[in-house]
Amino acid sequence: MVEANHFKTFAADVRGRFNPVLQAYLRQQQSRLASDHPLGRRLSQLIINFVGGPAKRLRPALVELGYLVSGRSVPAALMQIGVAVELVHHFLLIHDDIIDRSLVRRGRPTVHQAVRQWPRLGARIADDRRREVGRSIAVVAGDLCADLAVEAVLGSRFSEHQQRSVLRTILHTVDRTIVGEALDVIAPLTGRGSRRTVEAIATLKTAHYSLVMPLQVGMTVAGVGPSVQRGVARYALLVGIAFQIDDDVLGVFGRPGQVGKSTSSDLAEGKVTLLTVLARERFRSAERRHLKRILARRRVSPNELVWFRKTLIARGVLSRVRLIQQRYVQSARRALRAVRLPASSRRLLHDLAMAVVDRQA
Buried b (16+ CB within 10 A) or exposed e, 131-166: eebbbebbebbbebbbebbbbbbeebebeeebbebb
Residues 62, 215: Cα–Cα separation, whole Å: 5
Q: What is the pLDDT of residues 243-257, one digit of tens each?
A: 999 999 998 998 765
Percent of the chain with pLDDT over 90: 79
Residues 283, 279: Cα–Cα separation, whole Å: 5
- Tell me the torsion sign for CA atoms 339, 344, 350, 353: negative
Query: What is the pLDDT, as a whole number, of residue 221?
Result: 98
Instruction: List the one residue out of 340, 343, 197 whose CA is nearest residue 270.
Output: 197
Residues 166, 219: Cα–Cα separation, whole Å: 10
The mean pLDDT of 30-59, rounded to a whole number, is 93
Instruction: List the one residue out of 97, 100, 99 whose CA is nearest residue 114.
Output: 97
| AA identity, residue 139 | V
Query: What is the pLDDT, as a whole number, of residue 191?
Result: 64
| Half-sphere exposure at residue 169, Cβ-oriented, CA atoms within 13 angstroms | 27
Instruction: List the one residue out of 302, 299, 256, 252 whose CA is nearest residue 279.
Output: 252
Q: What is the pLDDT of residues 133-172, one digit of tens each?
A: 999 999 999 999 999 999 999 999 999 999 999 999 999 9
Average pLDDT score, the chain? 92
Q: What is the pLDDT of residues 206-219, one digit of tens each?
A: 999 999 999 999 99
pLDDT tier for residue 258 given thresholds of 50, 70 and 90:
low
Tally of residues, the chain: 361
Q: What is the pLDDT of residues 273-306, one digit of tens each?
A: 999 999 999 999 999 999 988 887 777 888 999 9
| Beta-bridge partners for 108 | 105
DSSP state of 2: P
Residues 229, 237: Cα–Cα separation, whole Å: 12
Q: Which residue has the higher pLDDT, 266 or 129?
A: 129
Q: What is the pLDDT of residues 225-243, one digit of tens each?
A: 999 999 999 999 999 999 9
Nearby residues of 120 by Cβ (< 8 Å), 6 or more positions away: none
The mean pLDDT of 190-201, rounded to a whole number, is 86
Instruction: List the one residue out of 97, 22, 25 whose CA is nearest residue 63.
Output: 22
| Half-sphere exposure at residue 168, Cβ-oriented, CA atoms within 13 angstroms | 8
The H or E element spanning position 308 is: helix 302-314
The answer to whether residues 186 and 179 touch, using CB atoms and an 8 Å cutoff, is no
**Predicted structure pTM score:** 0.93
Query: Coil, strand, or helix at residue 334?
Result: helix
Query: Coil, strand, or helix at residue 104?
Result: strand
Largest CA distance in the chain: 64
Query: What is the pLDDT, as a whole number, of residue 2?
Result: 46
The strand ranges marked E within the chain are: 104-105, 108-109
Whether residue 361 has pLDDT greater than 50 = no
The H or E element spanning position 64 is: helix 58-68
Query: Coil, strand, or helix at residue 296?
Result: helix
Residues 82, 94: Cα–Cα separation, whole Å: 18
Give the least confident one: 22-31, 107-116, 141-150. 107-116
Q: What is the DSSP string of 170-230?
A: HHHHHHHHHHHHHHHHHGGGGS---HHHHHHHIIIIIIIIIIIHHHHHHHHHHT--HHHHH
Percent of the chain with pLDDT over 70: 94
The mean pLDDT of 102-131, rounded to a whole number, is 82
Q: What is the pLDDT of residues 49-90, one digit of tens each?
A: 999 888 899 999 999 999 999 999 999 999 999 999 999 999
The mean pLDDT of 177-192, rounded to a whole number, is 89
Buried b (16+ CB within 10 A) or exposed e, 253-262: bbeeeebbbb
DSSP state of 283: S
Whether residue 1 has pLDDT greater than 60 = no
